[in-house]
Amino acid sequence: MKTKKQNYSHLSPKQPIGIFDSGVGGLTVAKEIKRLLPNEDLIYFGDTKHLPYGEKSKEAIIEYSTKISNFLLEQNCKAIVIACNTATANALKEVMLSVAGKVPVIDVINPVAEKVAYELHNNVGVIATKATVNSGLYKKSIRKHNKFIKVDELATPLLVPAIEEGFKNHPITHSIIYNYLSNAKLKNIETLILGCTHYPLLIDEIKQYYGNRVRVIDSPNIVANHLTIILDKYHLLNDNNPKPNYKFYLSDITKNFEKISKKFFGKTIDLELKVL
């Protein structure tokens, strides 16, 4: 999406970074941001009341995403990371219009698509929610940069509910993963993009299925690196904050979110119920 040259001189490096997702998946991105940018304050919104986004209509996803983005603006965030592939695929344009150039908006599809397009990949598979696959955004974004790459996308809707229910390293997820990854659509791929920020929580199980036959893309790391570049470009990196603050808002507090967020961010995290 082309925009006029942005001016973020009104923003301060001391302001927090806003991150949102439908649930725990975005924590994989937040964790990488925390690792790469250890001095940054983070505000995370998990819309657990409405998950999974992948089963919702485009109109509903737009409504949720724009409301959350405006909330993060109200919290004085200096950047917004849409840490949700489904929200990116269905509401990126609307979020950017709603934010109206006040802060940079970073999504989770375009940085990954661009990196894959410029590396040596011929046959790329994408697993994602129904809404992300139906949008076709991964294929469009990758082929915009490299029209010679073959991209096959497969909807894998059972993975998000299984992850949100806490099924990790479990016979249920092993069975779901085997059934999806053995699909004929993914037969000849050499690279697999995990097109949902929930899926890196199962990355070990996915790699185990493939052995060394398929390269599995680490999307959260790519997105966190892209955010770093953007903040540096606009002189918004906070490099002097030895005790960063991490704030978590949830539209419905769940046990699994508490468990994973504590694992990633420590036992003293602050969870607050917030229904928009």
Q: Which residues are the active-site residues?
A: 84, 196
C-alpha to C-alpha distance for 98 and 76, rounded to whole angstroms:
15
Q: How many CB atoms lie within 10 A of CB 13?
A: 16
Question: Any binding-site annotation on 123?
Answer: no
User: Would you state the torsion angle of the CA atoms of residues 90, 48, 216, 38, taken in this order, to the nearest 10 degrees?
Assistant: 100
Distant-in-sequence, close-in-space partners of 171: CB < 8 Å, separation ≥ 6: none
54 annotated binding-site participant: yes
Q: Is 178 annotated as a binding residue?
A: no
CA distance 121 to 222: 16
> What amino acid is encoded at 170 in this protein?
H
Query: Which neighbouring-strand residues pair with 249?
Result: 45, 272
Collapsed DSSP state (helix, strand, coil) of residue 152: strand
Is residue 101 marked as binding? no
Residue 7 among known ligand-binding residues? no
Residues 251, 142: Cα–Cα separation, whole Å:
33
Structure tokens at 126: 């994408």
195 is in an annotated binding site: no
Would you say 199 and 206 are in contact if contact means Cβ atoms under 8 Å apart? yes
22 is in an annotated binding site: yes
- Are residues 139 and 168 in contact, defined by beta-carbon separation less than 8 angstroms? no
Q: From the CB of residue 236, how many other CB atoms can be counted at a distance below 10 Å?
A: 20
Q: Is 273 helix (H, G, I), strand (E, B) or coil?
A: strand
* 134 has binding-site annotation: no
Q: Which residues are annotated as a binding site?
A: 21-22, 53-54, 85-86, 197-198
Q: Which residues are annotated as a binding site for substrate?
A: 21-22, 53-54, 85-86, 197-198
